[in-house]
Amino acid sequence: MVTIEHSSPGLNSGVSGFPSRFGHKRAKAFLSTLAPLPRPTWLPEKVWPFQTRGLEVDGSMVAVTEVGQGPTLLFVHTGFWSLIWRDVITRLAGEFRCICLDSPGTGQSARRAHESITLNHASRAVAAVIESFELEDATIVVHDLGGPAGLAAMASAPERLRAIVAVNTFAWQPTGAVFRGMLALMGSGLIREFDAWTQFLPRVTARTFGVARSMDAATVKAFRAGIGKEGLRSFHYYMRDARKNENLYLELSHAFAGPLRGVPLLTIFGEYNDPLKFQSKWKTLFPDATQVIVPKGNHFPMCDNPELVAQTIRSWHREKVKLNKAADRNQED
């Protein structure tokens, strides 16, 4: 396990102790030093057929998985854990380099004190992956609170970003009584402890309304085990922070008006799960965005219809990202 230390607790602190923009051979040598994580007893290989490694960030181990070769797709979800991406990654790994991570305190990542379960810490974990895996021309695929966490990380290194895929997510200051009220409720201590003891939210999420539409019983069981009581508490701490983290949203606002402006954007939302009209907001921020609705989809469209989501990303990347990149190079020549 390799340590990535940050110079300060701020969101934009740089990664120290790791040579930025070194050659491909040195990057390969660094990645080979990342220790494979022991496979948990609750995670059979048939459920998670990938090798996960540990990257130490801010004094805590973050679980990172890399599979496939080709243009980079960085999958970021903050709240539960990376198993939600499995079926999409499996379909895309034949032609893309797919990387995903479990945010601090969730999934296979180490559990943390609640004071450090914030979107800033989640964002710094993403930034450490971007730097340590030497990502270039990356397409970031974000879901749920992975939107603000992942895009804030990219805002601090915009030269490494090629495109954005936003899956049932947002990346701006929450406004309005419904939005802020939902975050306040889900971030409250009462709901957090009630949920930790009853496992109400994992039970609901592990049904067909949530992640289970394309999952077998063994996968659903592993999904819930990967959350656990403390991981569920982490989810609620992230929700609490999402309501009040004004500095992070201010940085995102500056990024959308500056270095991230005009970046190719694809949004993918479930048909039945956009009550706060996030897609309209994305279209305002990115007028040229491609927007796709997954029929009968809910909050996890990548689980509702992984084939459609994977094919959408594949074809959009070929048309809007790869061809645009080739055009940019031709202009430079």
Six-digit token string for 169:
């997510």
Give pLDDT tens digits for 6-65.
333 334 333 333 334 434 455 555 566 788 999 999 999 999 999 999 999 999 999 999
Residues 82 and 50 sit within 8 Å (Cβ to Cβ) = no
DSSP-based three-state secondary structure for 64: strand
Report the CATH number that the domain containing residue 162 is assigned in CATH.
Answer: 3.40.50.1820
Give pLDDT tens digits for 110-127.
999 999 999 999 999 999
Q: Which residues have C-beta within 8 Å of that of residue 229, sequence separation ≥ 6?
A: 196, 197, 199
Average pLDDT over residues 180-199: 97
Q: CA 328: distance to chain centroid?
A: 27
Q: What is the model's pTM?
A: 0.90
Give pLDDT tens digits for 302-314.
999 999 999 999 9
Look at the chain and report how many structural domains it folds into. 1
Q: Residue 36 pairs with which residues in a beta bridge? A: 53
Give pLDDT tens digits for 5-15.
333 333 433 33
**Integer angstrom CA distances of residue 156 from 12, 73, 118, 239, 260:** 6, 18, 17, 23, 10
For residues 227 and 108, what is the distance between their CA atoms, to the nearest angstrom? 9
Query: Which residue segment(s) compose the domain that 70 sits in?
Result: 2-332
For residues 251 and 91, what is the distance between their CA atoms, to the nearest angstrom? 34
Give backbone dihedrals phi and psi of 3, rounded to 5 degrees, phi first: -95, 130
